[in-house]
Amino acid sequence: MEFCDPGSCQITRDKMTSSVLSKFFGAEEVRSLQSMYSTGNVVTVILELQRKAEDLAGVKINVAMLGDVGSGKSTFINAMRDVRSDDPGAAPTGNGEASKKPTRYRYPSRPDIQLWDLPGLNSFGFELNRYLKQVNFESYDFYIIVSQSRFRECDGELSKRIQAQQKELYYIRSKIDNDAYSMQIQGIDFSRGKMQIIQDCVKNFKSVGVKPPAIFLISSFDVKEYDFPKLNSTLATDLESIRSNTFSRAIPEMMLGIQLSKRRLIMRVIVLLAFLSGAVGIIQAPGLPFLTAIACTAAGWMYFRWQLGVSDRVVWNLSGRVNKSATLLKTEMEHQPPFTLLRFSPKVLSFILTVVCMIVVFTDSHHSVTVSVFGAMSSSAFTFLVLKDSLDDRLLSQQILAKTALQQEDDDHL
């Protein structure tokens, strides 16, 4: 048994993307992908990802147990692992045993599955967003909601959040032995009662706008009865598609990890050009800051177009190899990121400042040094912002290209 708290550590973008890559590739493979990309072989990189997508056996899947305190999550994990609550290494169960940290348990009969016992939602005072952040909700590959007695509001809300990430889930009605007992006392036929419970759950999911997931009625005290055996066999069957969806979702992030070293290299050139743009612009010659800014920006733009350009020929080549229409690949790739003021205004502002300073220098022969310095700074900022954003757009378009090229036709997006 191991303890880990993914929510407590601040992960940087570099670490995060490299951890996504290392989920699927060994260190040597990562280095080789990065060097392929650095030499301009984006098609080979995408084909390597495709090769990996066809052989995901052994890739570890993180399964999160969600639900209220006392719903039976820890007992369920013990039952899956075939241990009793008082065995060494078992998940602590019962009142007062609720952990405030996600805890990982290995699943001996399926070493490729890691079961995560998450704290109960109500142990965080039902503040869903705080809870989700605390348990690092988005880091898991698959979810099982464990609910007892009745459908709860949070079951619907959690399912919505899971499906919004295009991930899959199972819904477990735990402690069904108790329900079976009360049905028996009331003289209700169990299969009729069971059908009623399932119909209620489906209705409740639909009423909150969630596509009903697979529903299992289980008792963790009786793993050979009720839906426990069906749950095990369904999970074993679904594992391949869970793995393949996990890989598919991770493609943009993996591409980002592969692009990182080249991005760093190009960023150095961009910083140099921005510095040059400011340094030349400080010379007190009319129009110079403006002209330098434009020249440096154009030079930088041409440089990384040359470094990262994906020509029509490359798209055609890729389209033949992955069996996707070249028009589709091109259209998706050229899809522009949404316009945001936050991204647009600093560039416009620095451009206006450069022009204003240029006009002052041009019209007023007694202008102060401050105006020149200001002009140089704004021309430098303009060059940097335009080039950095264009670089990131270009990298993003390659991530989209990889995602579209490797998208399976029958991808189930819930």
Which positions lie near ligand GDP, rule CB under 6 A? Answer: 67, 69-75, 93-94, 97-98, 120, 174-175, 177-178, 219-221
List Cβ neighbours of 59 (8 Å cut-off, separation of 6 or more): 23, 24, 112, 243, 246, 247
Residue 294 binds which entry of ligand GDP, Mg ion, none, CB below 5-8 Å type-dependent: none
Q: Are strands 142-148 and 168-174 parallel, antiparallel or unpaired?
A: parallel
Query: How far apart are CB 70 and ligand GDP at their closest, in Å?
Result: 4
Contact 230, 173 (CB under 8 A): no
Closest CB to Mg ion among residues 74, 354: 74
Query: How far apart are CB 400 and ligand GDP at their closest, in Å?
Result: 40
Closest CB to ligand GDP among residues 77, 402: 77
Per DSSP, the residues of 266-296 read HHHHHHHHHHHHHHHHTS--TTHHHHHHHHH
Query: How far apart are CB 76 and ligand GDP at their closest, in Å?
Result: 6
Instruction: Supply 139's token pair.
Output: 């880091």
CA distance linking residue 310 with residue 308, whole number of Å: 6
Nearest to 126 by CA among 98, 102, 155: 155
Residue 219 binds which entry of ligand GDP, Mg ion, none, CB below 5-8 Å type-dependent: ligand GDP
CA distance linking residue 179 with residue 51, whole number of Å: 48
Residue 94 binds which entry of Mg ion, ligand GDP, none, CB below 5-8 Å type-dependent: ligand GDP
Contact 66, 143 (CB under 8 A): yes
Closest CB to ligand GDP among residues 181, 344: 181
Helices (H) and strands (E) in the chain, counts: 14, 7
Closest CB to ligand GDP among residues 176, 266: 176
Query: How far apart are CB 120 and Mg ion at their closest, in Å?
Result: 7
Query: How far apart are CB 220 and Mg ion at their closest, in Å?
Result: 12
Q: Give the nearest residue (CB) to Mg ion.
A: 74
Q: State the residues that interact with Mg ion by CB under 5 A.
A: 74
Closest CB to ligand GDP among residues 68, 141: 68
Residue 75 binds which entry of ligand GDP, Mg ion, none, CB below 5-8 Å type-dependent: ligand GDP
Element (H, E) at 106: strand 103-106
